[in-house]
Amino acid sequence: MKYAVIDIGSNTVRLAVYTTDGKTFHPLFSQKYTASLAGYVQNDILTQEGIQKACSVLLGCRTLLEQFQLEQTFVFATASLRNIQNTREAVDQIFLMTGYSVDVLSGQAEAYLDYYGVRYDAPMEKGLLFDIGGGSTEIVTVAHDGPGIIESLPIGSLTLSKAYVEKVFPRQKEREVVQERIRKELKKRKLNHLPAFPNLCGVGGTARTVLRLAQAQQELPETQRILTTSQFRTLEKTLWKKDAAARELLLQNCPDRLHTIYTGMLILDALVQLTKCESIYISKYGIREGYLRRELSKKKNEQPRADKA
């Protein structure tokens, strides 16, 4: 059987198709669309232009999926539709125009499904999981008996860039303002005194982009999915020079994230400092796999243990 999952984020819309035998699943196909829906939010309202943009992308997904014999297509949204005042209006219009019913996840559900997806790839016995998205950042602390702290911060790489950065590369003053906002959000949720975690696990686009940039800059093998703190600092040092070498590295490896990678890395830098971590593992799996696992579990009437979503 084949299933499709469409993830409507603040920066990108991601489509993934999986094959499953009912017990395990395997990625078959994926496609990314840069929609930048957060850029269409005005006074906490997603504009009609933004809703039309979402619909246009989803109709493109529908056309593409017609070539697959699918059992079902799941569509969910995170901060893109969660952090606006007209969520219901947007969801209703999307359904009328595309036929897709969108499941808008709470911040805690998003964080837990990140964790549930990662568990399919690599069991975490102790550490901190993070997902730096365009409109929010999810954080989960993990111990041997499962998740502990589950938090969703209303800051992401795109929203921070939109709010505080005038051009592509943040100026020093803008960098300081962004760092202060990150500290305030962590303090609000009492995350400013996290215990030391030797290992972090990153999921999502920002984490994958950081890995790709480090691989290119430091000639690391493509199969390597763990960055040491030292390797991350080396990448940071290069990018914050904002010189010709930094621009070339960005243009060659993440041209679609020029306006978000710096703010995303500032969030990651804050987590690295707080946890005093030694390494960062970037998982291949995350919320889409967690969502699929949950839905397949529902079909078998076997809810995952301690499912907080």
The domain limits of the chain are 2-104, 122-282
Task: Please tell me what DSSP assigns to residue 47.
Answer: -
pLDDT band at 306, cuts 50/70/90? very low
Task: Please tell me what DSSP assigns to residue 40.
Answer: G
pLDDT band at 123, cuts 50/70/90? low
Q: What is the pLDDT of residues 170-208, one digit of tens each?
A: 999 999 999 999 999 999 999 998 889 999 999 999 999
What the block records as the tokens of 82 is 């969660």
Judge whether residue 166 has pLDDT over 70. Answer: yes
Give the angle 267-271-275 at the CA atoms, nearest 5°. Answer: 175
What the block records as the tokens of 85 is 């005042």
Question: Does 3.30.420.150 match the CATH number of domain 122-282?
Answer: yes
Q: What is the pLDDT of residue 143?
A: 80
Q: What is the pLDDT of residue 154?
A: 94
The CA distance from 232 to 113, in Å, is: 26
**Cα-to-chain-centroid distance, residue 116:** 14
Provide the pairing of β-strand 199-203 with 127-132. parallel
SS3 of 133-199: the string is CCCCEEEEEEECCEEEEEEEECCCHHHHHHHHCCCCCCCHHHHHHHHHHHHHHHHHCCCCCCCCCCE
Q: What is the pLDDT of residue 203?
A: 94
Give the angle 232-194-172 at the CA atoms, nearest 5°. Answer: 50
Of the candidates 63, 58, 59, the residue with the CA atom closest to the CA atom of residue 7:
58
> What is the assigned CATH class of domain 2-104?
alpha beta
Judge whether residue 38 has pLDDT over 50. Answer: yes
Q: What is the pLDDT of residue 308?
A: 45
pLDDT band at 147, cuts 50/70/90? confident
Query: Other CB atoms closer than 10 Å to residue 7's CB: what's the count?
Result: 23
Judge whether residue 254 has pLDDT over 90. Answer: yes
Q: What is the pLDDT of residue 305?
A: 53
Alpha helices (H) along the chain: 48-65, 79-82, 87-98, 107-121, 157-164, 172-188, 205-218, 229-239, 244-253, 261-275, 287-299
Q: What is the pLDDT of residue 73?
A: 97
- The mean pLDDT value of the chain amounts to 93
Percent of the chain whose pLDDT exceeds 70:
96
**Token match 């990448």: residue?**
235
Judge whether residue 47 has pLDDT over 50. Answer: yes
Q: What is the pLDDT of residue 287?
A: 95
Cβ 205 vs Cβ 286: under 8 Å: no
Q: What average pLDDT does this structure show over 71-79?
A: 97
Same fold yes or no, 2-104 and 122-282: yes
Q: What average pLDDT does this structure show over 156-166?
A: 95
